[in-house]
Structure formats: structure tokens, C-alpha cells
Chains A and B, each alone.
Chain A
Amino acid sequence: MSDIDAIERDTLAKVAAASDIAALEEVRVAALGKKGVVSERMKTLGAMAPEERKAAGAALNVLKDRIAAAIDAKKQKLEDAALDERLRTEKVDVTLPAPSSPRGRIHPVTQVTEEIVAIFSAMGFDVAEGPDIEDDFHNFTALNFPADHPAREMHDTFFFPPKQDGSRMLLRTHTSPVQIRTMMTRKPPIRIIIPGRTFRCDSDQTHTPMFHQVEGLVIDRETHMGHLKGTLEAFCKAFFEVDAVKTRFRPHYFPFTEPSAEMDIGYERAGNEIRIGQGAKWMEILGSGMVHPNVLRNCGLDPDEYQGFAFGMGIDRLAMLKYGIPDLRDFFAADARWLEHYGFDPADQPNLSTALSH
């Protein structure tokens, strides 16, 4: 037995002394390898008497397990040490800047249009569209602008050269022609908004030759101006993300609505900010009214049977008011500095189940 003790003592000492994986492997082979000292002893068991073999076998197995455990433990230790040593050489300067990837932005007109669409969708409005290059019928005549009427002059219209038949195309001065296109192709009830590009031959600090409007149209058998007021108040609250909005409707004139109204919203200035909804000042934000009986007739609808409201407002202007963007002309300049500053993260998709904007 003392023999086995000696083997154990001797082998464990060698294990302890092994300074690397190769030396440890040598120890393992010398002890547990095919010709190792423990294996050699195992071979002698066959010649022993059964009683003796049992006792010696058990002792040898214990010896074998202890040595194996010691080797495993030592191996783990050596590997850890080797890894630690390697890691010591693998240091990077983590203060180096991370690689930058270019940041794309969504233009405020897109973002605000999507905000508007989200709100009106929740009120049951579809989104309709029409062409930018229009004819006189859809842009003026069907909308109850009499020929040569001064009301046409309120719209500084871009025209194309006259065709052979004397007619000339124009760039739509408002999104209202889509009202006509919709009413002529769809039966009421109609509940739509129409966002899009509009054009007027006008350019100064607050006017650009192209701008964006969103038009609303509701046609059914019972919608009246009270619904217009309720709808627009709800819209303003949701859009400006405020608890209450003070509104004022004023009689006005548009050829295509009767009665017609402009809507003002209350605001106040605080430093450079405009706070919508509160305050004693009024700001005009949209034109609206009940669709004119002549417009309904022009679209083949009986004004005694059908009725409804329409409104139109400037998308760019809403964006300027909400996000404090100072100059309309910058919207269309594609200046990277402006797009980076006023643009939106593409992941920020307007949505009514979260805050509308972030």
C-alpha cells in the first residue's frame, strides 16, 4: 500500500511542478498512459487472488481518479494562466472613436404629413390624391369660380401654354381639385383628406412657388359646420399635442364653400417659442366651410340630399408652427445642415399609440 501512496505523492508532486500544458501531458502519460506507472500496476491485478485483487483494484482506481482530478485541475489553472497572459497583450484603446455611419433623416414635410394622416385616419378619413398638373375645370370651374371672377386672381396661377383648342393646363393652386375628382368617381359617404403639392406664382419671405396643403372633405347626409368645428378642434389638440386648444371661427369667403369660415387658434409667444392653444392672440390657420351647393351639383350630387364640409390648411406652415422652423424657403433648399437639424429619425414613425412626436 505504501507503494501506492508513494506513486500518488510522487505523481501529485510532478503535477504541481508542471509549468506548462506539455509538461503536464508528460506527467499524465507517465502516470495514466498505456505504459504509465498506474496502468502497469493495473496489469498486475490479473495475477492476484480474488480477495487481494479486489482490495488492490479499489486502491488503484482511487489513485487513478485522484491523479486524473489533479491533472484536470492543474490543466484548467494552466489554461487560465495562458489565457490571462494572452489577454494581457490584446489591449485596444477603447477611447478611439466608434465607426460612424451616416445618419439619414426624414424631411419635416413627410413627418408632419404622416402625423396628420395618423390623426385623421383615427377619425375615419381615407387619404386621396390627384395630379399636380390640372385643367381649368377641376381647379376652378367645378369649384364654383366663375370665369374672370376676381376670386381667380386671389390664386396666382402657373399656366402652361394654350393648346390648339385654346384650353390650357395649369398647376393646381390648391388640393381642392381632388375633391371634385373624388366626388365624381365615388358615391357618398365620403370622408377623405388630401395631402399634396400645390403651386402659386408667388415668392417672398412667407410664400414659395410650391408648398404643401392638406384638404379635408366629408360628404354624407347629415354633416354640418358643428362637425367641422369638432373635427378641427380634435385635430389641433392631437397635432399640437396639447390638452386644450382655443379656436375661433370667422365668416370668410371661398367660392367653393357656403357658409365659409376661417379658423384661428389661440397662441402666445414665450421668447422664441410659439405656444399653441393658450394665450390671448389669434392666428389664422385654415380655411373651411360647407361644400357649396354648386360644387355638389357640378359633381352630380343633389345638394338637398347630400351635404358636408371641406377645409384646407398648409402642411409646411403647420410644421413651422409645431417645430419652430423659422423660414418657409428653407424647406425646399435641400441644405444638409437644415435637414440634419430639423429632420427626423427614420425610426420615428408617427403613431397615435405613442406620443405623436418624440
Chain B
Amino acid sequence: MKFTLSWLKEHLETDASLAEIIDAMVKVGLEVEHVDDPAERLRVFTIGEVLSAEKHPEADKLRVCKVATKDGVLQIVCGAPNARAGIKVAYAPVGAYVPGIDVTLAKAKIRGVESHGMMCSARELELGEDHDGIIEAPAAAKVGEPVALALGATDAVIEFEVTPNRPDTNGVNGVARDLAAAGLGRLISKAPEPVKGAFPCPQKIGLRFPAGAENACPAFAGRLVRGVRNGPSPKWLADRLRAIGLRPISALVDVTNLLTFDRARPLHVYDADKINGEIHARLGRRGESFLALDGKTYEVDETMTVIADEVGVLGLGGIIGGESTGCTDETSNVFIESAYFDPLRTARTGRNTGIHSDARYRFERGVDPAFMIPGLEKATRLILELCGGDPSEIFLAGAAPIARKTVAFPPSETKRLTGIDVRPEHAEEILIALGFKVSRADPWLVDAPSWRPDIEGKADLAEEIARIVGFDALPAVTLPARGAVETPKLTPAQDRRRLAKRALAGRGLMEAVTWSFTDARIAALFSDGPNWLAAQGLILANPISSDLGAMRPSILCNLVAALQRNADRGRDDLALFEVAPAYASDRPDGQQTVAGGARLSNPARDWAKAAARADAFTAKADAIAALEAAGAKVEQLQTTADAAPWYHPGRSGVLRLGPKLPLAHFGELHPRVLKAMDVDGPVFAFEAFIDQIPAAKARATKTRPALETLELLPVKRDFAFVVDRALAADQLMKAVKGAEKKLISRVTLFDVYEGRGVPEGKKSLAVEVTLQPRDRTLTDEEIDAVARAIVAAAEKGAGASLRT
């Protein structure tokens, strides 16, 4: 919403400066977004007087002028045809920035003659379009006086944000009322004087709504003015509309636009001679359409309120008028419409048609129903003044929905909600200044004015009082402490994420934060496919772009794509992770936080050959690190070879706590998935489902089990077993561990070998077994007995034989 300072002053009697007005607007909640103050913008341009103008010795079209300026008499070379002795001009000094030509002036020599500054045209100063010659200021202008002042171009334009709750501030008088309440001056807006009709309104008006839809347009008032002369608006009106960015059209139309911004009251004018029969508001019908004033044809339907005559649709009520009945210079009989349209229906119609008009903007936020008739009177008055003619009486169909709203308001409410102490007398003054009626019963009974549809209850009144007093009055109060020490607040699930992130970053992975959505094609690769995604409700109806159309079913989708983007920039040795949501359905329990990571491994060459290339086991270690940090008992994890289908079928696995609780998938990603994503692999990835980790048992104390430090030296023995090539190493390890539970404290696998010396179809697994004696040193016989038990267990549990 834009208005000019002089416009405001028609409604607000005030001595306040522009700066004070802006401050006050911000203070009461009218958020000023932009101020264009020509006086400030044109500060460096001052009046000069041309003392003499001689022809340039080297150029016929140039003149060498002596100009009296605030900087003394200067020589300025000028090409304007009207540069001549005696005129007052707009002088721009050396160093000034001239906005219209986007140039900062320097001292110049023009065809050999020095020139100190410039004399400007209106266009050069962005004061108008005129560029035929330099500005000629009134003769009375004084040398050195600001150009803006001398030309009267001092009217600042203020733009502010209208919040949806304050439709009244879509009119300048609404702004003035707030400012007056805030003590900035006196509200002097006048209630429009009724115009006496010279004859009954010959244009009949109807409301033709089916039962239940009457509220679409409960009231429609109008009046005919006969014998008008339409044409361009007078300068004051055209200037005013131009200042706020509107294009003047004709006096009749401009009057409606003026009232739209002056009083937040949209109106419409029709060429009455083009209306066939009764004009009426009704719901549209499928198949109807009309050519609107914006030059486009719109189809209407039964959800929309249209204005129609007996022939067809003329326009969309409260949104846009039609070309067929538009006013032109030839219009001599004008019908003025002032109606009330339902905010919700207007909003819906506006959305469905995509029409953004000043009328829609106001009706959907709610116009003052009580100002429907006064607005019509005011428009009539202006039309009579500008275009002449004879007015009819007003024809009113229906009744404007003026609901009287009374709020029971204990004055203590302001303090209860804001902490600001306001004297009851002051609170009452504020409410009255804003148009409320206050009766000081207990509690107060406060009537809201008809232009404030937002007022519902006592909290709204507390806000009115507090915002006019000013939020600067808010005390700064500390919340009372809940305990002497505020105790930790993260839930275990939140804490897990924190720990997993720090553990993964500690392993050298970089944390990324990527979109929750991804390309539906990629989402399909990391799930059960497109039908599954749609069935789970994971496809967006209105994505920001087609490559962000689905919620990601796996944390890996965007990480893997990001790896390739980095590789394309030459960064192909990189490990990324993200601890964030993945989505399995559109229900709250379909979202889980996953710690996932992906590695592209091309280690830089290094003299010490220290950096190994990552592989599936790096991803396994990443997954275990994330799970361990997040509190999983990783020593109890089992590994199975049944990872999700987006992993390499032979180089991937699942870490699980028992058969039913998979906690992570890891491994090399499937080459087909990578190819579909144009990713140059291999990529080693993991997904750790940290939300699934069973909660630790609550314990009464933090005491740790006592440390067991045995004095007796452990004994180590190596065994090399030959097993089937397909045997999972884990199975052998388990068998060996189980051979003698008391003595065997550790089993590590230190070699895997296939080839010469090992039969075809077999492999050799070498393990080191640590025996921990507990109460006495083991004898050789005892050690041999354990060794035999180990060999027997390996044979029984894993089909292993000792390698010879």
C-alpha cells in the first residue's frame, strides 16, 4: 500500500515531520517498507540562474553559459535549445550523481571548453518524461534553493505492508486514524455528505442467489448519473494516482481508484447505456465467460460471484469489471456500483482465476460494510465535481452485513498479557481514538468499529492498547528458573543424533544438509519404485521443480548426487554424511531420522602410502561408528548379507541386533543405481537407523561395573582353518568363541587366503585365540585340551579343518 504525505495530510492534521510519521507508523504496526522522498533524493540539485549563454566556438548546437549557483558563477556547456540568459535552472554540481542518465558528473572539457557541472532536464532528475530541454524553474526561485522545493516536488511517497488483519489500513484514512491515536495529530477525515438524488434510479439492481449462497453478495447499491462528460482527470488526481504507481485512465474510473486507496472502498463504474435490463449479482454458470478490463477472457463457474445483466456476465464481483460495459470518453450516463462481496468467496475466485486487483485485495480482506453507502455518496460527489451530470437516488438491493461486536474487556487484560501498566483513562482514550465505543462497566463493554473485522476478543483489545502505547514500554523480564540448575533437555533420540554426527565427523566425513525432497526418479531407485512412492503419499502435488518432486525414501538419494557434483568440480575423494529424516509414508511414524553417509574414494598419492582406498568395510566401520556413538551395543551386532537392493548384491550387508532388528545397511552401491544417476562409482555407503536402537535400560546410578585386572598372563595361539569358500567368516568366529567360554577371551581374524596350498573351492581363515587364565597358570595339557576343543568346535560349527 502506497500513499503520499500530502494525501495523508488530508486526513491527519499534523506538524510531524516525514521521519516522525514513519517512526510512528512502524511503532503502531504499519511496517514501512520504502519511502521515496524527492527532497532527499534530489538534495544535491539546486537552483541556478543563467547569466549569459554564448554559442560554443566549435559547435553550433552547444552554448557556453555563465551560471550563478550556490558555488559561485560557473561556466557550464549546455546543449539544450532553451538554455538562455535569465532562466532559473536545475544545477547539478561536479560530483553529483544524475539518476536519469546514471552518471556521476566530473569536470569536463567539451570541444575544448571547460564545463563545471550540468543543467538538468526533468527526465534526468526523474521528475518527469520531459527531455526536450532543461528544467525552467519559476522566476521566483532563489539561486541555491533545493530544486525539489522550488518545483514543489516535495511530496514523499510512503509504502508499507498491510497485514491481513488490518483491511482498514488499505485506505489512507485508516492510516491517519492509527497515527492520530498514537498522538501524531488530529484525524480530520470527513464523513461524506449524502447527495440528493434528482430522480429515482432507473437502473434496477437484483440479487439472484440460491438459498445458502446469499452471503456471496448480501448488498448491492448503485446510482445513475446522467449527462456526465468523461475525459482525462484533472492534474491533482492524475498526479496522485501516478505517485502511487497507478495509471490514470479517465475521470470516472480514476474516481473509483481514488476511493479504493483513500477509503479502502472499491467501486465500479459502468456505462449505463451498455447495460441490458436489470443488473444483478449471482453465481456464475459453467460455460459463461467475459472479456475483462485487463484484456483477457475469463471462464466463470458456479463458485464465483458475477455481475450480470439480462444478456450475460459483465464482470467478476469485487474482482474485475468487463470490457463490454466499461466507461469511455463517450460515456454520458454512468452507473456507479458499491457492493459488499464475501471475503472467502472473493479470495477463492481470485486464486482460481489468478487475477490480482486492488478490489480483490480489499474485498478478500474485508471492506467496511458500513461505508458502502457513504463510499457511493463520496464517489457521486467527485463525479459531479469532475464530470458534471444529474444524480439519481440510490438503489439498494439487500443489506450490508454490519455485525455489532461487543467485547467484554477487563482493563487488567493488557497487563496480564503484555506486562505493560496502562492507566484505564489512557486505555479508554486509545480505544475511542481507534473508533471503539467503550462503556466502563465491570468488565468494560467495548464495541468494535465496523471497519475492524479482526477484533474478536479481549486479547485483540489488549493488543490495540499496547501497540498504541508502544511496545517500547514492554518490560524485559527474566523467566523464573525452574530449578537451581536447569537440567539437560535433549531427549535420548535427539542426543543420539548429536553423538552420531560428531562421531562421523570425527572419522573424517563432512556433514551435509540436503533437501528432504529429491528427484522422483532417484527416489524410485532407493525404494520399492514409483508406485510405492505414490501409494505411500510421498509425491508432491506442487514441487518447486520437477527434480524435487518426491520425499526422499532414503537418506542416500541426495548425498550420492552431491558426491558426483563435487567430483564434477574435481573433488573425487570425498566422504559426506547427513543425519536427518527419510520418509517411508506421509504419516508421522513414517518419518525416521537416519544417519547415512557415502564415500567416493580416490585418495591423493602420498609418499608414505598411508591412505587406503575405501571399500565396503570402510562403510561398515562408518555404520558401526554411528551406531556405537548413538548408543547401540555394537558388540552384539550380527552381520547378514541381505542389504537393500540399491546396494551391490555381493558387497553389502546388514548390521542387526537379532533377526528382526536391522540397524544399518552398508556396502558398495549397486552399479546400476549409480549408472542411472550418472555417478562414476564406486560409492561406498551406509544407512544407520539410529531411531531404532533399543533404549538403554534406565539405571538407578551411573556406577560402572568394577574393572577386572587379572594378574595372570594371557596365552595366545594361532589356528589356520580351511573352510568352504562360501562360508561366512562370522560363523567360524562364533564356533571358535563358543569352544571354551570361560577361558577364551578374544578371537581375532588376521588372515584370509585363497590360492596355492588351499584346495579349489576352499579358503583359509587364520585366527588368533587369546586364553585368559583366571586363578592359576595353565599347564601345557590344559592349553592343548582347549586347542582340541577349538578345532572340534570349528569343524562342527563351520565345517572347518585345520590347515596342514
User: Which residues of A approach B to under 8 Å, CB–CB?
Assistant: 96-97, 99-107, 109-110, 114, 117, 120-127, 129-133, 146-151, 153-154, 158-161, 163, 168-169, 171, 191, 197, 199, 201-203, 209-210, 218, 223-231, 233-234, 248-253, 258-262, 290, 292-294, 303, 307, 331-337, 339-340, 343, 346-347, 349
Q: Return A190 CB to nearest CB of chain B, in Å.
A: 11
Q: In the bound complex, do residue A191 and residue B479 qualify as a contact, i.e. CB atoms below 8 Å apart?
A: yes
Q: In the bound complex, do residue B571 and residue A336 qualify as a contact, i.e. CB atoms below 8 Å apart?
A: yes
Q: In the bound complex, do residue B508 and residue A101 qualify as a contact, i.e. CB atoms below 8 Å apart?
A: yes
Once bound together, how far apart are the Cα atoms of A224 and B587, in whole Å?
A: 35
Q: In the bound complex, do residue A99 and residue B494 qualify as a contact, i.e. CB atoms below 8 Å apart?
A: no
Asked if A251 meets B591 with Cβ closer than 8 Å, knowing A106-B511, A258-B459, the reply is no
Q: Which of A127, A130, A293 sits near B490, CB closer than 8 Å?
A: A127
Q: Return A195 CB to nearest CB of chain B, in Å.
A: 9
Once bound together, how far apart are the Cα atoms of A229 and B470, in whole Å?
A: 14
Chain A residues with CB below 8 A from B610, complex form: 99
Contact indicator per residue, chain B 17-32, by CB within 8 Å of chain A (1) or not (0): 0000000001111010
Within 8 A of A (CB), among B459-512: 459-460, 462-463, 466-467, 471-472, 474-479, 481-483, 486, 488-491, 494, 498, 501-512
Q: In the bound complex, do residue B467 and residue A225 qualify as a contact, i.e. CB atoms below 8 Å apart?
A: no
Further pairs besides A127-B490, A225-B418, A334-B559: 6, Cβ < 8 Å? A107-B511, A110-B511, A132-B591, A226-B474, A227-B479, A332-B515
Tell whether B706 is near chain A: CB-to-CB under 8 Å. no
Q: In the bound complex, do residue B542 and residue A158 qualify as a contact, i.e. CB atoms below 8 Å apart?
A: yes
Asked if A259 meets B479 with Cβ closer than 8 Å, knowing A123-B486, A132-B581, A343-B510, the reply is no
Q: In the bound complex, do residue B479 and residue A230 qualify as a contact, i.e. CB atoms below 8 Å apart?
A: yes
Q: In the bound complex, do residue B544 and residue A201 qualify as a contact, i.e. CB atoms below 8 Å apart?
A: yes
Stretch at the interface among B159-167, B324-332, B524-532, B747-755: B159-167
Q: In the bound complex, do residue B478 and residue A230 qualify as a contact, i.e. CB atoms below 8 Å apart?
A: yes
Stretch at the interface among B202-210, B430-438, B533-541, B709-717: B533-541
Asked if A253 meets B467 with Cβ closer than 8 Å, knowing A102-B575, A110-B511, the reply is no
Task: Count residues of chain B with CB under 8 A from any CB of chain A.
Answer: 98
Of A148, A292, A347, the most chain B CB neighbours within 10 A belong to A148
Contact indicator per residue, chain B 573-584, by CB within 8 Å of chain A (1) or not (0): 011100011010
Chain A residues with CB below 8 A from B130, complex form: none
Tell whether B140 is near chain A: CB-to-CB under 8 Å. no
Chain A residues with CB below 8 A from B608, complex form: 96, 99
Chain B residues with CB below 8 A from A149, complex form: 164, 344, 347
Asked if A133 meets B459 with Cβ closer than 8 Å, knowing A104-B505, A104-B509, the reply is no
| Closest A residue to B29 using CB positions | A251
Once bound together, how far apart are the Cα atoms of A148 and B583, in whole Å?
A: 29
Q: In the bound complex, do residue A339 and residue B511 qualify as a contact, i.e. CB atoms below 8 Å apart?
A: yes
| Closest A residue to B562 using CB positions | A334
Can you pick out 26 interface pairs between chain A and chain B where the beta carbons lie within 8 Å of each other?
A101-B508, A102-B508, A102-B509, A105-B505, A121-B490, A123-B479, A129-B494, A131-B588, A133-B591, A148-B347, A150-B164, A151-B164, A159-B540, A161-B537, A197-B516, A201-B544, A203-B544, A209-B544, A224-B419, A225-B474, A226-B418, A226-B475, A227-B478, A251-B466, A336-B571, A337-B571
Once bound together, how far apart are the Cα atoms of A101 and B571, in whole Å?
A: 16
Q: Which 4 A-B pairs have the closest CB atoms?
A: A251-B29, A226-B419, A102-B508, A259-B463
Tell whether B652 is near chain A: CB-to-CB under 8 Å. no
Chain A residues with CB below 8 A from B494, complex form: 127, 129
Q: In the bound complex, do residue B505 and residue A346 qualify as a contact, i.e. CB atoms below 8 Å apart?
A: yes
Once bound together, how far apart are the Cα atoms of A159 and B543, in whole Å?
A: 8
Tell whether B124 is near chain A: CB-to-CB under 8 Å. no
| Closest B residue to A289 using CB positions | B463
Chain B residues with CB below 8 A from A209, complex form: 515, 517, 544, 548
Tell whether B737 is near chain A: CB-to-CB under 8 Å. no
Q: Which of B166, B415, B509, B580 sits near A253, CB closer than 8 Å?
A: B166
Once bound together, how far apart are the Cα atoms of A239 and B466, in whole Å?
A: 28
Q: In the bound complex, do residue A133 and residue B583 qualify as a contact, i.e. CB atoms below 8 Å apart?
A: yes
Q: Which of B347, B506, B515, B538 sits near A104, CB closer than 8 Å?
A: B506
Asked if A154 meets B571 with Cβ closer than 8 Å, knowing A203-B544, A229-B476, the reply is no
Tell whether B348 is near chain A: CB-to-CB under 8 Å. yes
Contact indicator per residue, chain B 347-373, by CB within 8 Å of chain A (1) or not (0): 110010000000000001100000000
Q: In the bound complex, do residue A231 and residue B479 qualify as a contact, i.e. CB atoms below 8 Å apart?
A: yes
Q: In the bound complex, do residue A227 and residue B26 qualify as a contact, i.e. CB atoms below 8 Å apart?
A: no
Contact indicator per residue, chain B 39-54, by CB within 8 Å of chain A (1) or not (0): 0000000000000000
Tell whether B183 is near chain A: CB-to-CB under 8 Å. no
Chain A residues with CB below 8 A from B69, complex form: none
Q: In the bound complex, do residue A124 and residue B482 qualify as a contact, i.e. CB atoms below 8 Å apart?
A: yes
Once bound together, how far apart are the Cα atoms of A258 and B488, in whole Å?
A: 31
Chain B residues with CB below 8 A from A100, complex form: 606, 611
| Closest B residue to A331 using CB positions | B513
Tell whether B176 is near chain A: CB-to-CB under 8 Å. no
Chain B residues with CB below 8 A from A224, complex form: 415-419, 477
Q: Return A60 CB to nearest CB of chain B, in Å.
A: 43
Q: Return A211 CB to nearest CB of chain B, in Å.
A: 10
Q: In the bound complex, do residue B516 and residue A124 qualify as a contact, i.e. CB atoms below 8 Å apart?
A: no
Tell whether B6 is near chain A: CB-to-CB under 8 Å. no
Asked if A197 meets B505 with Cβ closer than 8 Å, knowing A124-B486, A151-B164, A337-B571, the reply is no
Chain B residues with CB below 8 A from A191, complex form: 479, 482
Q: In the bound complex, do residue A251 and residue B28 qualify as a contact, i.e. CB atoms below 8 Å apart?
A: yes
Q: In the bound complex, do residue A150 and residue B29 qualify as a contact, i.e. CB atoms below 8 Å apart?
A: no
Of A122, A201, A258, the most chain B CB neighbours within 10 A belong to A258
Tell whether B81 is near chain A: CB-to-CB under 8 Å. no
Q: Return A200 CB to nearest CB of chain B, in Å.
A: 9
Once bound together, how far apart are the Cα atoms of A333 and B543, in whole Å?
A: 18
Tell whether B558 is near chain A: CB-to-CB under 8 Å. yes
Asked if A249 meets B347 with Cβ closer than 8 Å, knowing A104-B508, A331-B513, A346-B506, the reply is no
Of A229, A260, A262, A336, the most chain B CB neighbours within 10 A belong to A336
Q: Return A137 CB to nearest CB of chain B, in Å.
A: 13
Once bound together, how far apart are the Cα atoms of A225 and B418, in whole Å?
A: 4
Q: In the bound complex, do residue B586 and residue A133 qualify as a contact, i.e. CB atoms below 8 Å apart?
A: yes
Tell whether B602 is near chain A: CB-to-CB under 8 Å. no
Q: Return A37 CB to nearest CB of chain B, in Å.
A: 43
Tell whether B138 is near chain A: CB-to-CB under 8 Å. no
Once bound together, how far apart are the Cα atoms of A101 and B603, in whole Å?
A: 10
Q: In the bound complex, do residue A96 and residue B490 qualify as a contact, i.e. CB atoms below 8 Å apart?
A: no
Q: In the bound complex, do residue A259 and residue B418 qualify as a contact, i.e. CB atoms below 8 Å apart?
A: yes
Tell whether B236 is near chain A: CB-to-CB under 8 Å. no
Q: Return B165 CB to nearest CB of chain A, in Å.
A: 5
Tell whether B111 is near chain A: CB-to-CB under 8 Å. no
| Closest A residue to B410 using CB positions | A304
Q: Return A350 CB to nearest CB of chain B, in Å.
A: 10
Once bound together, how far apart are the Cα atoms of A99 and B604, in whole Å?
A: 11
Tell whether B457 is near chain A: CB-to-CB under 8 Å. yes
Chain A residues with CB below 8 A from B163, complex form: 252-253
Once bound together, how far apart are the Cα atoms of A262 and B756, in whole Å?
A: 77
Q: In the bound complex, do residue A339 and residue B27 qualify as a contact, i.e. CB atoms below 8 Å apart?
A: no
Once bound together, how far apart are the Cα atoms of A259 and B588, in whole Å?
A: 31
Contact indicator per residue, chain B 548-592, by CB within 8 Å of chain A (1) or not (0): 100100000011001001100101001110001101001110110
Tell whether B514 is near chain A: CB-to-CB under 8 Å. yes
Q: Which of B489, B510, B544 sits near A126, CB closer than 8 Å?
A: B489
Chain A residues with CB below 8 A from B489, complex form: 117, 120-121, 125-127
Chain A residues with CB below 8 A from B457, complex form: 293
Q: In the bound complex, do residue A218 and residue B479 qualify as a contact, i.e. CB atoms below 8 Å apart?
A: yes
Once bound together, how far apart are the Cα atoms of A279 and B31, in whole Å?
A: 20
Of A231, A251, A332, the most chain B CB neighbours within 10 A belong to A251
Q: Which of B164, B417, B472, B544 sits near A225, CB closer than 8 Å?
A: B417
Once bound together, how far apart are the Cα atoms of A65 and B99, in whole Å?
A: 107
Q: In the bound complex, do residue A106 and residue B29 qualify as a contact, i.e. CB atoms below 8 Å apart?
A: no
Asked if A336 meets B543 with Cβ closer than 8 Å, knowing A127-B490, A209-B515, the reply is no
Asked if A335 meets B588 with Cβ closer than 8 Å, knowing A149-B164, A149-B347, A343-B511, the reply is no
Chain A residues with CB below 8 A from B416, complex form: 224, 307
Q: In the bound complex, do residue B513 and residue A109 qualify as a contact, i.e. CB atoms below 8 Å apart?
A: yes
| Closest B residue to A294 using CB positions | B456
